[in-house]
């Protein structure tokens, strides 16, 4: 773990629970794509930088989940690097309490205010194309989060963030976190047609071809959607539906799973309602979901 892997002359990734991209800008300076899950991850990244005599100039965050921004604060304090994050992800990066609050739908209980859901604050700036090194291109990848992005380097290496998962990850978690399933499917359809020297997803193996894995992720989303529709054959409120989902997929409820899976299911419900596959009605002061 935390091994530096070279994929082209100037492009690398650091093998970790969520891969950290690294691009050499010249003989001394480098930038990172994401920063790892926490301060400890930041220290390991810093060790790699020091061993190679590299100076960190910037961190480009793909999105604001804690496993991608958790090393920001440590690395910024240690190196003075600048940090950039796209759109609303920048606000969540600057104010990490927004993440558990968003997931919970209100002020979060202490059980959700830990490093896996809430990173330390970092002084992030809004990411625009003009902030990127010469030859690096911003790739919008919305769906997993509101404005997640990836990057294409001048050498044709594409860093894909969390826009798809390995089959092992899909099998393990069953329902991957999404904030907008419709946007996510559109993103994956675009990713299927991309070409690159090599693709570097955060939670799957680096590969020269990605279309088959993208299709597998698409198929899983559509299957979850079909399952949710069938679970709403009889009208049910959200809590009852969530209980059915956990039972159907063999999941175990705790605070973290309640908000991660629960928020995702709510997003599916909103999308399926918009697609005309579900309807919502208020009865006896309950919001009920039903198959159309």
In whole angstroms, what is the distance from residue 159 CA to residue 139 CA? 9
Range 20-26 contact pairs with CB under 8 angstroms and sequence separation of 24 or more: 20/45, 20/71, 21/151, 21/159, 21/200, 22/48, 23/133, 23/136, 23/153, 24/54, 25/57, 25/133
Average pLDDT (216-242) is: 98
In whole angstroms, what is the distance from residue 77 CA to residue 121 CA? 11
Closest by CA to 211, choosing from 184, 245, 229, 188, is: 188
Closest by CA to 278, choosing from 288, 179, 264, is: 288
> Which band of pLDDT confidence, cut at 50, 70 and 90, is reported for residue 20?
very high
pLDDT at 242 over 90: yes
Average pLDDT (23-44) is: 98
**pLDDT tens-digit map of 178-209:** 999 999 999 999 999 999 999 999 999 999 99
In whole angstroms, what is the distance from residue 138 CA to residue 57 CA? 18
Q: Residues with Cβ < 8 Å from 93, sequence gap 6 or more?
A: 61, 64, 69, 72, 83, 85, 119, 122, 124
Percentage of residues in the chain having pLDDT higher than 70: 100
**pLDDT tens-digit map of 86-139:** 999 999 999 999 999 999 999 999 999 999 999 999 999 999 999 999 999 999
Burial of 132 (0-12, 13-18, 19+ CB in 10 A): middle
Coil vs helix vs strand at 164: strand
Residue ranges covered by each domain of the chain: 1-134, 233-291
pLDDT at 37 over 90: yes
In whole angstroms, what is the distance from residue 257 CA to residue 104 CA? 11
Which pLDDT value is given to residue 154?
98
Which pLDDT value is given to residue 67?
98
Assigned token pair, 187? 């993103």
Average pLDDT (7-36) is: 98
Q: Name the fold adopted by 1-134.
A: Metallo-beta-lactamase; Chain A (3.60.15)
CA 191-18-15 angle, to 5 degrees, is 105
Which pLDDT value is given to residue 238?
98
**pLDDT tens-digit map of 42-83:** 999 999 999 999 999 999 999 999 999 999 999 999 999 999
Across the chain, mean pLDDT equals 98
Closest by CA to 278, choosing from 219, 229, 237, is: 229
Backbone region of residue 234 per phi and psi (left: phi > 0; alpha: psi in -120 to 50; beta: other values): beta
Average pLDDT (227-235) is: 98
Assigned token pair, 273? 């309602």
pTM of the model: 0.97
Closest by CA to 73, choosing from 111, 27, 24, 36, is: 36
Which pLDDT value is given to residue 49?
98
Which pLDDT value is given to residue 31?
98
In whole angstroms, what is the distance from residue 121 CA to residue 56 CA? 19
In whole angstroms, what is the distance from residue 96 CA to residue 87 CA? 14
**pLDDT tens-digit map of 251-282:** 999 999 999 999 999 999 999 999 999 999 99
Which pLDDT value is given to residue 1?
86
Burial of 274 (0-12, 13-18, 19+ CB in 10 A): exposed
Cα-trace Rg, the chain = 20
């Amino acid at each position: 773990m935390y091994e530096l892997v070279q994929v082209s002359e100037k492009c690398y990734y650091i093998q970790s629970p969520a891969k950290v991209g690294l691009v050499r800008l010249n003989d001394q300076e480098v930038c990172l794509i994401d920063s790892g899950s926490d301060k400890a991850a930041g220290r390991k990244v810093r060790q790699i930088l020091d061993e190679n005599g590299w100076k960190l100039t910037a961190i480009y965050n793909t999105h604001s989940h804690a496993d991608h921004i958790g090393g920001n604060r440590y690395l910024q304090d240690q190196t003075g690097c600048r940090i950039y994050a796209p759109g609303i992800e920048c606000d969540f990066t600057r104010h990490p309490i927004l993440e558990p609050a968003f997931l919970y739908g209100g002020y979060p209980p202490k059980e959700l205010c830990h490093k896996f859901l809430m990173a330390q604050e970092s002084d992030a700036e809004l990411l625009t194309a003009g902030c990127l090194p010469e030859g690096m291109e911003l790739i919008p990848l919305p769906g997993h989060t509101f404005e997640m992005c990836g990057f294409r380097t001048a050498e044709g290496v594409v860093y894909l963030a969390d826009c798809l998962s390995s089959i092992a990850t899909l099998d393990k978690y069953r329902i991957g976190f999404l904030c907008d399933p419709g946007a996510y499917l559109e993103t994956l359809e675009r990713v299927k047609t991309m070409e690159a020297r090599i693709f570097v997803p955060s939670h799957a193996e680096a590969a020269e071809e990605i279309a088959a894995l993208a299709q597998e992720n698409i198929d899983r989303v559509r299957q979850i959607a079909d399952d949710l529709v069938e679970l709403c054959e009889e009208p049910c409120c959200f809590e009852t539906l969530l209980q059915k989902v956990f039972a159907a997929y063999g999941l175990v409820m705790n605070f973290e799973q309640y908000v991660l899976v629960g928020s995702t299911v709510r997003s599916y419900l909103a999308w399926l309602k918009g697609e005309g596959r579900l309807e919502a009605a208020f009865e006896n002061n309950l919001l009920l979901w039903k198959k159309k």
